Structure 1
Amino acid sequence: MSEDRRQFQRVTYECPAMLSWGGHEPLAVEVENLSLKGVLLRGLPEGQGPRPGQSAQLEVSLAPDVAMSMALEVAFSSENRVGARWVEIDVEGMTHLRRLLALNLGDAEQVDTELAHMLHPRT
């Protein structure tokens, strides 16, 4: 039996991105997967990425003329991967993210349900 407690569907979506944090030079990374709550990145040099709890900025290239920018908080860092949750994303970026998830999940209604849950969590 799986112990996966995720409330938000992840989709594999590999694309280039730039990660910056704490005055470091931006690093080219690759998005491995993403959800409405966060992102998994790979391709960081061993031991050179941000640490858990640190803030970071991510610029994701979706197409030559389409990008999403968002603020992150690093949740974990291991080997050459970093997992982070979205802290701030603008409306245009959220629109791109919602559309990308709906297309890759094949279920726009599921994405809308997750978005509603995120915006109005039950206590």
Structure 2
Amino acid sequence: MTAQDSGTAANQAQRAFTRIFFDAETVATQEVAGEPRFWPVELVDISLQGILIRILPDQHIDPDSPVEINIHLGGDVQICMETEVVNQREDCLGLTCRHIDVDSMTHLRRLVELNIGDTSLLERELHALT
């Protein structure tokens, strides 16, 4: 096992939330010099705790400022959350959820529930959020 492998194993052991690989139209918004900047980003995965996105080389997201995320699920259904950058590796940013409205949390919970198929695991993850 290499140092990189043990680091990955440690990250997996610390991760208390199931990641769902999911593809949906996603937009990151961040205030830059007092003006909102909008970037279409690639949603890599999502969990009850946050998301992983991939950005383009010309996109710069300030890791020290909040990032609004809008994930369009179809029609007028979307998940909106305020996040902050917790890690960056090359073109991928890990964002943790700092605030999410009730409707968005309901959609996120249903998305996770449909993808993990284990109600007890979902309840354990929801309990870990409190």
Q: Place the TM-score, normalised by the shorter chain, in its bin.
A: 0.7 to 0.9
Unaligned runs of 5+ in 2: 1-5
Q: What TM-score results when the alignment is normalised by the length of structure 2?
A: 0.82
The offset of 1:47, in angstroms, is 5.7
Distance across 2 between alignment mates of 1:73 and 1:99 = 23
The amino acid across from 1:107 in the alignment is: D
1:27 aligns with 2:36: no
Unaligned runs of 5+ in 1: none
Contact between 1:46 and 1:79, CA under 8 Å: does it hold in 2?
Answer: no
| Superposition misfits of 4+ residues, deviation over 3 angstroms | none
CA RMSD of aligned residues (A): 1.6
1:92 aligns with 2:103: yes
The amino acid across from 1:73 in the alignment is: E
Distance across 1 between alignment mates of 2:112 and 2:58 = 30
The one-character-per-residue Cα deviations of 1:57-109 (angstroms, maximum 9, x if unpaired) are: 01101112211111001112233211100000001100100110010111122
Contact between 1:32 and 1:41, CA under 8 Å: does it hold in 2?
Answer: yes
Contact between 2:80 and 2:104, CA under 8 Å: does it hold in 1?
Answer: yes
Q: What TM-score results when the alignment is normalised by the length of structure 1?
A: 0.87
1:12-91 alignment runs, 5 A limit: 12-23=21-32, 24-42=36-54, 44-46=55-57, 48-91=59-102
Looking at CA atoms only, which structure, 1 or 2, has the larger radius of gyration?
2
The offset of 1:54, in angstroms, is 2.3
Aligned residues: 118
